[in-house]
């Protein structure tokens, strides 16, 4: 009998306890962020696509167009073309096809000048595959303008004839080297054989 009333009382009290929780939550501020109108701060360790680092002292990038990143990329999506400007080599084209990127980070690790880093970019919706391609030099110029630094000019690419001539020269050199290598080894093989025969 007492158990019956105690049961009722316990149940009723638990209902009131539950209601007190809900009414407290009713007056708390909301925790959702209304996305297009309010945005959250991205953490600095977020991995977006790669971008060129703006060096503190020179206020420009550190890329020397060595093409290490494009060689090591497992999806082969980085394209780098460089040109000699004075003593240094600078990139003329440096873009990634981000639709294939697996965010492995090998390009960042392999860069000898530490010129690449992860960006914070998450607003990447687009209507075509083409819109996923990111031009890193253009992005660098945008960022420099926003920071008030002078934008790095993109050097002139090597004109067609010179490039063709340089290729032809390189080819000729390689062929000459091959021919000279063919002649030498037979001579070297005969000499030791002859020595063995004598002894």
Partner 1 sequence: MVGAPPAAPLPETENGKTETHMETAATIFGSDLFRMIVGLIGVIALVSVNALFLIWMERKVAAHMQLRPGPMEVGWHGAIQTIADALKLLGKELITPEDVDRPVYLLAPIVIFLPVLVSFLVIPFAPKLIIRDMHVGVLLILSFATLTVLAILMAGWASNNKYSVFGAIRSVAQNVAYEIPLLITVMSIILMVGSFSLVDIVKAQERYWFILIQPLAFILYITCATAETNRAPFDLPEAESELVAGFHTEYSGMRFALFFLAEYTNMFIVSALATVFFLGGWRGPFLPGWAWFLIKVYAMIFLIMWFRWTFPRVRFDQLITFAWKILIPLAFANLLLTAFVMKLF
67-96: contacts with partner 1 (CB under 8 A): none
Tell me, rounded to whole angstroms, the distance of Cα 82 from its chain centroid. Answer: 18
State which of positions 150-179 bind partner 1 (CB under 8 A): none
Rounded Cα distance, 124 and 134, in Å? 10
To partner 1, the closest distance from the beta carbon of 34 in angstroms equals 6
Residue 4 CA, chain-centre distance (Å), reads: 70
Is 100 within 8 Å of 133 (Cβ atoms)?
A: no
- Helix, strand, or coil (residue 165): helix
- Provide the terminal-to-terminal Cα distance of the chain, rounded to the nearest Å: 120
Which residues, numbered 2-31, are part of the site for partner 1 (CB under 8 A)? 8, 12, 15, 18-19, 21-23, 25-31
34 binds partner 1 (CB under 8 A): yes
Which residue, 18 or 157, is less far from partner 1 as judged by CB? Answer: 18
In whole angstroms, the minimum distance from the beta carbon of 11 to partner 1 comes to: 8
The residues of the shown chain that bind partner 1, judged by CB under 8 A, are 8, 12, 15, 18-19, 21-23, 25-32, 34
């Amino acid at each position: 009998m007492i158990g019956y009333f105690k049961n009722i009382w316990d149940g009723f009290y638990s209902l009131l306890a539950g209601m007190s929780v809900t009414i407290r939550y009713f007056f708390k501020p909301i925790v959702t962020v209304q996305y297009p109108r309010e945005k959250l701060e991205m953490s600095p360790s977020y991995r977006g696509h790669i971008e060129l680092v703006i060096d503190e002292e020179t206020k420009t990038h550190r890329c020397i167009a060595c093409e290490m990143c494009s060689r090591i990329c497992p999806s082969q999506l980085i394209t780098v073309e460089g040109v000699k400007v004075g003593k240094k080599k600078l990139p003329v084209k440096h873009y990634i096809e981000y639709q294939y990127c697996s965010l492995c980070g090998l390009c960042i690790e392999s860069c000898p000048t530490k010129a690449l880093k992860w960006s914070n970019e998450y607003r990447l919706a687009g209507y075509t595959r083409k819109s996923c391609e990111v031009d890193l030099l253009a992005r660098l110029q945008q960022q420099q303008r926003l920071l008030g630094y002078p934008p790095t000019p993109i050097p002139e690419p090597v004109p067609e004839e010179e490039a063709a001539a340089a290729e032809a020269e390189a080819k000729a050199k390689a062929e000459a080297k091959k021919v000279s290598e063919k002649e030498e080894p037979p001579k070297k093989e005969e000499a030791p054989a002859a020595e063995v025969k004598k002894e």
